[in-house]
């Protein structure tokens, strides 16, 4: 039996899952590899303590390279990826297990840690700017990873009393109205939550034409949404996913997509 693992837009904190896979491989005296994308080619390396994430765009653009490689293994575990990636990779003629691992969706491993990390850091900024009197609206524009309005954006905005701004013009108009309302209430600071589909400089210039403001950017990349100290919720989820992965390997079941509900694996 040959086992392969790879991650799509995933997180690094998956050690329990990888340990479970390696333990199964050792018990069955079988090979366990991690698939990584190097110089336009999917290559196998010995499975270690962590995996290097592959962008979903890369997978979609090179599906004819991924499927044949996956089919050389008896079982493939995919950490992360959207429903589109699941549909694409399910075409592989081998058993595939899809695990919900992503900091962007609230039903995935890594999300709770990412939300906690972002909110904690934004609140530190809030403590600073809310303590200072200023003659014009101070706007902190927080850019999070991704190109779609995500659960992370919406819940981060709710936690810091911010406003989600998408790429369309109507959303920018609503943002301008939101800032004017804050100003009328005497609240001289605001948080706008955007993603990578919105250029902060262009948004700042647009809003600056509507009212007088002081516009600052706070940009988070993927690494800044992670933490070396996962939350308790994510620790529980990872443990449950590791157990589910081991059970799937042991059972020899067919292709399956795992889902999370109240930290339990379904």
pLDDT greater than 90 at residue 10: no
- How confident is the model over 117-159, as pLDDT tens digits? 999 999 999 888 877 666 788 999 999 999 999 999 999 999 9
Query: In this structure, what DSSP letter does residue 101 have?
Result: B
Looking at the predicted structure, is the pLDDT value of residue 187 above 90? no
Q: Mind listing the pLDDT tens digit for each residue in 17-50?
A: 999 999 999 999 999 999 999 989 999 999 998 8
pTM over 0.75: yes
Beta strands in 175-246, from DSSP E residues, in sequence order: 189-194, 213-219
- Hey, what are 68's tokens? 């044949």
Determine the Cα angle at 10 with ends 21 and 221, to 5°.
Answer: 150
User: Kind and range of the H or E element at 264?
Assistant: strand 264-265
Q: Give the residue, 215 or 12, on which the prediction is more confident.
A: 215
Instruction: Give the single-character DSSP code of 166.
Output: -
Per residue in 73-121, pLDDT (tens digit) is 999 999 999 999 999 999 999 999 999 999 888 899 999 999 999 999 9
* Residues with Cβ within 8 Å of residue 99, at least 6 apart in sequence: 17, 77, 78, 79, 80, 109, 241, 244, 245, 258
């Amino acid at each position: 039996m040959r086992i392969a693992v790879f991650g799509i837009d995933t997180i690094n904190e998956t050690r329990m899952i990888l340990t479970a896979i390696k333990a199964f491989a050792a018990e069955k005296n079988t090979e366990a590899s991690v698939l990584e994308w190097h110089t336009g080619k999917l290559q196998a390396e010995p499975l270690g303590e962590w995996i290097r994430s592959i962008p979903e765009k890369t997978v979609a653009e090179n599906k004819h390279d991924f499927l044949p490689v996956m089919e050389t293994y008896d079982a493939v575990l995919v950490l992360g990826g959207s429903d589109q990636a699941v549909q694409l990779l399910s075409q592989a003629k081998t058993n595939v297990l899809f695990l919900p691992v992503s900091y962007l969706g609230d039903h995935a491993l890594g999300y709770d840690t990412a939300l906690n990390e972002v909110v904690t850091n934004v609140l530190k900024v809030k403590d600073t700017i809310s303590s200072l009197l200023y003659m014009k609206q101070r706007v902190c524009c927080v850019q999070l990873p991704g190109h779609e309005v995500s659960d992370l954006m919406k819940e981060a905005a709710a936690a810091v009393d911010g406003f989600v701004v998408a790429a369309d013009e109507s959303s920018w108009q609503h943002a301008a109205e939101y800032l004017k309302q804050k100003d009328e209430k005497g609240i001289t600071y605001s948080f706008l939550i955007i993603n990578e589909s919105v250029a902060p400089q262009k948004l700042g210039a647009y809003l600056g034409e509507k009212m007088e403001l002081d516009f600052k950017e706070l940009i988070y990349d993927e690494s800044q949404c992670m933490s070396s100290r996962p939350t308790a919720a994510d620790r529980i989820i990872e443990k449950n996913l590791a157990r589910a992965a081991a059970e799937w390997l042991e059972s020899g079941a067919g292709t399956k997509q795992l889902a999370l509900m109240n930290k339990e694996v379904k």
